Amino acid sequence: MRTFLPIAAVLGVLAAVPFVVHSNVTLNFLVAALMFALVGQGWNILGGYGGQYSFGHAAFFGTGAYVTAILQVRYGVNAWFGFAAGIAAGAALGGALGALVFRAGLRGSYFALVTLAFAEVLRIIASVAPVTGAGVGTLIKLELGMRTFQFQSRAAFYWIILALVGLSLVIARLIERSRFGAWLIAVRENEDAARALGVDASAVKSIAMVVSAAITAAAGCFYAQYFLFIDSGIAYGTWISVEALLTPIIGGVGTVFGPLLGALVVKTLGEGAKLVAGDAPGLDLIIYGAVLVLVIWTMPRGLIGGLTHVRKLLAQRGATVVPAGEVRGG
């Protein structure tokens, strides 16, 4: 249980925020940051631990969002059941895509391009299909209540997305400490060597894809319930795939807390850039991009990797200073 104490501590601190902060603007900011942390953790399971860099995680995000929205709007399904169905649909899509690409032996840039193309195909289909509302999109009726997953208070949404992020942190920690996690990392480091040792690399990557897709689909389901509207550009747009990549890369790829830290930093930088730039068009994006490039350049292993490196350097300095003091004292 000691393994999960850091997760419990972080979640405990974050859970107390609505009791201190009552501004809806701040809570909206934190809800969005946590949602991107969830998307980033989904990508991190596959890309960070498994080394399979996907450029099309919008496919799973959009599928989760559309399934939960369509079930409610067109079939009157309970929102909570629709939420669960959206996650299941995302996981099933991940399993199907994984079975196709990994059995075909696609790796590296080929895998990345296939995932990107897959998300784009889904976007085009959603933009013309009647069931998705085509170009108009799907609007969920505003009807406050527990059954409809709609709450007056932003704090309720905040705690729900925080619970989902907490679950994703636990999943990442369990993978990290499990035999499956060891196989996944072995595949990431050297797939051919892992196969030679008896690891079924295709099966390991496929399972990671299913878990990754389910977590990302959960973020899509939450998006639909929070904003009550979804269209093809939102659901399957490249913006979500970029966010999925960016948050773990900034925070620390292949780490439990990397996506969460990265999401908070990325969202804070984005809002800070807007405040600094004021009304100057495009200047906020220039500032935002420059800061992100600086962070990646100075800390290529992400913020967590950079902090770990600094801690090791301080520990090494302490180890060398103490004996020298003892010699002088003698």
What DSSP letter does each residue of 70-86 carry, written as one string?
A: HHHHHH---HHHHHHHH
Q: Mean pLDDT over all residues of the chain?
A: 89
Under a CB-based contact definition with an 8 Å cutoff, are residues 39 and 248 in contact?
no
Q: Measuring CA to CA, which residue among 248, 261, 249 is closest to residue 215?
A: 248
C-alpha to C-alpha distance for 70 and 63, rounded to whole angstroms: 10
Report percent pLDDT > 70 for the chain.
93
Residue 124 parent element (H or E): helix 108-128
Q: Measuring CA to CA, which residue among 56, 65, 47, 40 is closest to residue 121?
A: 56
86: its two tokens: 């959206």
Report percent pLDDT > 90 for the chain.
67
Q: How much is the pLDDT for 330?
A: 45
Under a CB-based contact definition with an 8 Å cutoff, are residues 254 and 274 in contact?
no
Neighbours of 285 (CB within 10 A): 13
Helices (H), 252-301: 258-277, 283-298
Lowest mean pLDDT among 16-25, 61-70, 162-171, 318-327: 318-327
Under a CB-based contact definition with an 8 Å cutoff, are residues 137 and 232 in contact?
yes
> Which tens digits make up the pLDDT trace of 143-196?
888 888 999 889 999 999 999 999 999 999 999 999 999 999 999 999 999 999
**Residues whose CB is less than 8 angstroms from the CB of residue 290 and which lie 6 or more positions away in sequence, other chains included:** none
What global pTM score does this model have? Answer: 0.91
C-alpha to C-alpha distance for 4 and 172, rounded to whole angstroms: 11
Residue 182 per-residue DSSP state: H
First to last CA, the chain: 44
pLDDT category at 323 given cuts 50, 70, 90 is low
Distances (CA, A) of 276 to 267, 280, 293: 14, 10, 18
Write down how long the chain is.
Answer: 330
Number of H helices, E strands in the chain: 15, 2
C-alpha to C-alpha distance for 98 and 74, rounded to whole angstroms: 30
For residue 178, the SS3 value is coil
